[in-house]
């Protein structure tokens, strides 16, 4: 019996409703008011995704003494010279426009100084305090206001829908739309469009400790891999140094204690009470995230871990009342877990936070597939080997807006492109095949995946661990292939959702492994204990992986120093 398939038609289809997706919708409607725009969101619009979880803030050069050139150099040096410099320049200059748009058009309220200027706090890895914020709940402010603006416009919302696969055109000349799952009914939906934006966000929940919510499963990256699109810098998985460590069974374990704590002067100490970061980097606690994460793991390995195996962050020397005022949300979160952030110490451990790697795209957010655009954490090249804290939400909003402008730049043709029916049937079969098969141990498989990635493809890697991971991931793939779910009521089928999540996470994990194997030096978030040195910066190369059938292919390509070369600075030229 052929699977019944619903159809939905629009001009612009946006997969994802974080900062990138919402900004894209607003810009597209502003540029082309009559254009049909639809947003697909895995949960409820404005209530899910990673942008909403942003605590720290938004990097932008606003204050006297700061400049886009200075922000750019911090971004390039933090990224260890692997960044696509054209994209990085768009990030820092676009942030200056977007922050004003957020306040004057979107309606965001950010913290201000007594003189009325926007307050900017210190974040690690930066030469200037440039992080705009709303207390320590910046993401909620941005997403709430963006969602209000989207609700006020004629934008279709496909809530509780998950994207399953990208569907090419029948003539092979680009994209025709996407196959969706309506989780409320269990129906499959072919969403046809002239242009599609991939903005689902990352979500490295394949690691034992991670910051994103459990429903984040790298869906966009997995769809891109199945579409044979090239992904760059996939070995660059960022670990935030200070993930809350409240015990193995706590759902709060892995959630972020924001970087502003260290920027404000917080201390990292070990089980003996020693403040240890000065042993690893002159910047101490304000070193970049990769350096701090490795220092913490080294301290733990040397036997100086706390009762749950982590280290501690302490703020009491800054004054308990001051800490409560500056970091109200963080203090309350810690109190919920039995910790006193203001007057005591809180146990922390590095936690998988952000994917620097992703789909190859250009300055107009175009991918190699005509009609397919990408923005936000689904993309690679902006951050290089390490993302500066505060550059993430700037990335989403800057490139989300650019994507919306690009997609709406040309009036749509009268007829939607015809989808490749064979590719559509393959995508349907992939989604439905597990249903009715003998149920597999999905929870155990996901836990094993998290162990493999944490132990063998985590903060510290070497040839032996990567080879071990290769075998372990292959075994997991074979077991998952045989693991099904009951073919019962499809409405909000959580077992089916878990199976689809795990398939995507496993596929992206294999891409991370392939890229990590290709890079035989240490650079930013990627540290090889068997190759600890950084190779010649002037000869920097980035990794590119893609999926050909069931085989991962990989190569390296030279970084193009389009604006500045290692050893040079835009500041001297400015």
Residue 458 placed within a domain? no
Query: What residues make up the domain containing 254?
Result: 237-353
pLDDT tens per residue, range 115-133:
999 999 998 889 999 999 9
Catalytic: 262? yes
Active-site entry in 130, 145, 169, 262: 262
Instruction: Tell me, yes or no, whether 242 and 196 share the same domain.
Output: no
When the pLDDT of each residue in the chain is averaged and rounded to a whole number, the result is: 95
Residue-wise DSSP of 346-407? EEEEEEEEEE--EE---TT-B-SSTTEEE-GGGB-SSSTT-PPTTHHHHHHHHHHHHHHHHH
Catalytic: 240? yes
Distance from C-alpha of 322 to C-alpha of 315, rounded to nearest angstrom: 10
Average pLDDT for residues 478-490, to the nearest whole number?
A: 95
What is the reported pLDDT for 574? Answer: 44
* CATH code of the domain covering residue 248: 3.90.700.10
Distance from C-alpha of 356 to C-alpha of 88, rounded to nearest angstrom: 13
Distance from C-alpha of 551 to C-alpha of 424, rounded to nearest angstrom: 21
Query: SS3 of 191, please?
Result: strand
Average pLDDT for residues 39-51, to the nearest whole number?
A: 92
pTM of the model: 0.96
pLDDT tens per residue, range 398-416:
999 999 999 999 766 678 9
What is the reported pLDDT for 313? Answer: 97
What is the reported pLDDT for 1? Answer: 46
Instruction: Tell me, yes or no, whether 167 and 26 share the same domain.
Output: yes
Instruction: Tell me, yes or no, whether 282 and 141 share the same domain.
Output: no
Distance from C-alpha of 147 to C-alpha of 54, rounded to nearest angstrom: 15
Active-site entry in 133, 240, 333, 546: 240
Instruction: Tell me, yes or no, whether 260 and 306 share the same domain.
Output: yes
Average pLDDT for residues 246-271, to the nearest whole number?
A: 90
What is the reported pLDDT for 398? Answer: 98
Number of structural domains (the chain) is: 2
User: Where a domain ends, among 380, 407, 434?
Assistant: 407
Answer yes or no: is pLDDT of 170 > 90: yes
Which secondary structure element, helix H or strand E, spans residue 542, and what is its range? strand 541-548
User: Where a domain ends, among 407, 428, 444?
Assistant: 407
Answer yes or no: is pLDDT of 254 > 70: yes
Instruction: Tell me, yes or no, whether 294 and 363 share the same domain.
Output: no
Residues 6 or more apart whose CB falls under 8 angstroms from that of 526 comprise 235, 236, 385, 461, 516, 519
Residue 445 placed within a domain? no
Q: What's the Rg (C-alpha) of the chain?
A: 23
pLDDT tens per residue, range 426-448:
999 999 999 999 999 999 999 99
Query: SS3 of 312, please?
Result: strand
């Amino acid at each position: 019996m052929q699977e019944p398939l619903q159809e939905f038609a629009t001009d612009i289809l946006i997969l994802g409703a974080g900062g990138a997706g919402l900004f894209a919708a607003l810009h597209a409607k502003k540029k082309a008011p009559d254009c049909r725009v639809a947003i697909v969101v895995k949960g409820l619009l404005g209530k899910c995704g990673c942008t909403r979880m942003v605590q720290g803030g938004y990097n932008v050069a606003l204050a006297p003494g700061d400049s886009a050139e200075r922000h750019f150099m911090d971004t390039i040096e933090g990224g260890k010279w692997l960044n696509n410099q054209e994209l990085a320049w768009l990030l820092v200059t676009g942030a200056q426009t977007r922050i004003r748009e957020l306040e004057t058009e979107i309606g965001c309220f950010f913290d201000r100084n007594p003189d009325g200027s926007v307050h900017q706090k210190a974040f690690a890895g930066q030469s200037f305090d440039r992080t705009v914020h709303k207390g320590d709940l910046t993401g909620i402010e941005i997403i709430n206001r963006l969602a209000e603006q989207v609700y006020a416009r004629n934008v279709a919302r496909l809530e509780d829908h998950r994207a399953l696969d990208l569907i090419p055109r029948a003539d092979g000349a680009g994209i025709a739309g996407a196959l969706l799952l309506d989780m409320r009914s269990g129906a499959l939906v072919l969403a046809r469009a002239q242009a599609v934006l991939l903005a689902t966000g990352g979500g490295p929940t394949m690691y034992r400790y991670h910051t994103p919510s459990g429903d984040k499963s790298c869906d966009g990256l997995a769809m891109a891999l199945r579409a044979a699109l090239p992904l760059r810098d996939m070995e660059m998985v960022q670990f935030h140094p200070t993930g809350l460590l409240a015990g193995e069974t706590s759902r709060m374990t892995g959630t972020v204690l924001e970087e502003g704590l260290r920027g404000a002067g917080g201390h990292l100490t070990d089980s003996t009470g020693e403040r240890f970061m000065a042993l690893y980097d002159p910047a101490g606690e304000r070193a970049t995230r990769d350096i701090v994460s490795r220092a913490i793991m080294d301290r733990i390995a040397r036997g100086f871990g706390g009762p749950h195996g982590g280290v501690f962050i302490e703020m009491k020397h800054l004054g308990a009342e001051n800490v409560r005022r500056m970091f109200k949300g963080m203090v309350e979160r810690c109190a919920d877990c039995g910790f006193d952030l203001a007057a005591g110490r809180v146990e922390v451990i590095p936690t998988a936070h952000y994917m620097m790697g992703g789909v190859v795209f250009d300055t107009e957010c175009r991918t190699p597939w005509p009609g397919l655009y990408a923005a936000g954490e689904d993309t690679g090249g902006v951050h290089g080997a390490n993302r500066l804290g505060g550059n993430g939400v700037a990335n989403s909003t800057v490139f989300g807006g650019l994507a919306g402008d690009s997609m709406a730049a040309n009036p749509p043709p009268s007829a939607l492109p015809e989808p490749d029916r064979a590719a559509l049937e393959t995508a349907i079969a992939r989604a439905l095949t597990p249903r009715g098969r003998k149920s597999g141990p999905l929870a155990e498989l996901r836990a094993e995946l998290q162990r493999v990635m944490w132990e063998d493809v985590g903060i510290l890697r070497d040839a032996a661990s990567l080879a071990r991971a290769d075998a372990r991931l292959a075994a997991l793939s074979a077991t998952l292939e045989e693991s099904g779910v009951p073919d019962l009521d499809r409405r909000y089928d959580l077992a089916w959702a878990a199976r689809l999540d795990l398939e995507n996470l496993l596929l992206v994990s294999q891409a991370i492994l392939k890229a990590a194997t290709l890079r035989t030096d240490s650079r930013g978030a990627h540290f090889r204990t068997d190759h600890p040195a950084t190779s010649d910066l002037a000869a920097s190369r980035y990794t590119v992986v893609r999926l050909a059938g069931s085989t991962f292919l990989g190569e390296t390509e030279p970084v193009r120093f389009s604006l500045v070369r290692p050893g040079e600075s835009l500041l001297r030229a400015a």
